[in-house]
Chains A and B, each alone.
Chain A
Amino acid sequence: MDSLINETLEKIKEQNIKPEPRWKYLLRKYAKWILFLVVLALASSAFLAGYANVSSLDWSLYRFAQQNKILYTLSLVPYFWLILLAIFLGAAFFEIRKTELGYRYSRNRILFLTIAGFIFFGVSGIFFGIGHWFNTGLSQNFPAYSHSLMMTKETQWMQPQSGFLSGTIKSVNNENVSLEDFSGHDWNVAVDEKTLVRPAVDLATENQIKIIGTQKTANDFSATEIRPWNGNGMGRGMQGGGMNRDEVSGGGVDEEEMPSGGGMMRGR
């Protein structure tokens, strides 16, 4: 057996075999930790994007859509982001196990590290507006995101056959609003004295609005309620879309609690 040791030493010398430099090992070691952190950052981003999506939706429209509240709520859950969140959290668990001494960590320790990292990236993500960036970026650049993967604010308010329409005002006259929806289709929206126009709505050209009503023909829509694009329209001074929904809903007025006279009837 001693010959094996001698042979091995000979081989090492003859072939000039050297120990691999330590920096290569450290690079591999830290790469695993960086991968863990990247996966955690993605998990936090998925959570924030899901939250941004959820907070932009109108959760009370089931009354107008004549749907069961629970089924309607389930249809708005951001499953796409929830699935990604679960995948990234699972990957984070396995990534930490793959680190140098990861197999020694208890489940509690891994849970603590994962939650701590998740919160850290989550708070940083809120600061940089990551959730909103992901949500709007995907909505605008990947049509499949809002058409197939998610119920976004745009898709929620682009269902004329269900009574929900939105878009940009092109012109306004006494009984009609000419509207271009977000897919570029033109609509004649009939507005009469029974139409509830929320206080913050400014029916002026270029303003964006949401309408609840009934589709009459391929181009005609009858409005029963008009809201500004951002927010529920109960506050004041929101014209021009300068405030986002979060700021408005933070005012504490729930749409379901709104008295029927919360807006003003057109023509009164």
Chain B
Amino acid sequence: MQAENQKERTDTELIEAAKRNPEAFGFLMERYEKPLFHYIRRLSQSPKEDVEDLLQEVFIKIYQKLNEYDTALKFSSWAYRVAHNHVIDHFRRSSARPRTNVLEDSEWEKIIHSAMPESKRIENKDCAEKVRECIEELPFNYREVMILRFIEEKEYAEIMDILAKPKGTVAILLARGKERLKKELREKNINCF
């Protein structure tokens, strides 16, 4: 009964409650566990176990920073920002770069479709693999913004809040990312569409 009540509370109410009692933070974690897990997976391109470790670290960081949350932002945007910064820090600390592409077919097809709206579903497996490689080769700053826009389906304002970058910069990164992807596909003579 109490759990049901907690689930109906807004993020801000849960944050206030979590400051006094860590149990309330459990409900916030429950609310954002899946979205943040997938975001970290897409961003870090790490295996499931590593993503779970990162997610736990992110949740602890969010808990430690609860007093830092500014209601001018959506809580989800702020939580994504903490996750984003943590993943970047993690790779910086471990000197490791994001590894194998763990994007699911439907996910990378969304990115392809953003760059080439006329594209259809790629049936040829070899061709699909080549396209996937092109996405992997995109610089990280282009890929992260494309993941947020086309896979996470975030609005520009939310992407600005997550990456803490001005709107113009976000728009430029998206446009250049798409252009770069098209160029890669053209240069490698990949025409699967």
Contacts and interface: CB of A to CB of B under 8 A. Distances in A.
B60 A22 contact: no
B29 A8 contact: yes
A33 to B, nearest CB: 14
A266 interface: no
B94 interface: no
Contacts of B60: 8, 11-12, 17
A151 B68 CA distance: 50
Interface in B32-74: 33-34, 37, 52, 55-56, 59-60, 63-68, 70, 72
Contacts of A21: 67
B166 A19 contact: no
Interface stretch (B5-13, B19-27, B143-151, B178-186): B19-27
Contact of A8 (B18, B59, B70, B164): B59
Contacts, number: 63
B176 interface: no
Nearest to B52: A4
B67 A103 contact: no
A12 B25 contact: yes
Contacts of A19: 18-19, 63-67
B160 interface: yes
Interface in A1-18: 1-2, 4-9, 11-13, 17-18
B113 interface: no
Chain B interface extent, by class? 20 to 34
A6 B22 CA distance: 11
B155 interface: no
B165 interface: yes
Contacts of B68: 20, 22, 25
Nearest to B160: A103
A16 B14 CA distance: 20
B166 A97 contact: yes
A1 B63 contact: no
B30 A5 contact: yes
Contacts of B26: 5-6, 9
Contact of A103 (B56, B65, B70, B166): B166
A104 B67 contact: no
A103 B70 CA distance: 15
Interface of A: 1-2, 4-9, 11-13, 17-22, 25, 97, 100-101, 103-105
Given A5-B59, A8-B59, 19 more contacts: A1-B33, A1-B37, A4-B33, A4-B52, A5-B26, A8-B60, A9-B22, A9-B26, A12-B25, A12-B60, A17-B63, A19-B18, A19-B64, A19-B65, A21-B67, A25-B67, A100-B70, A101-B70, A103-B164
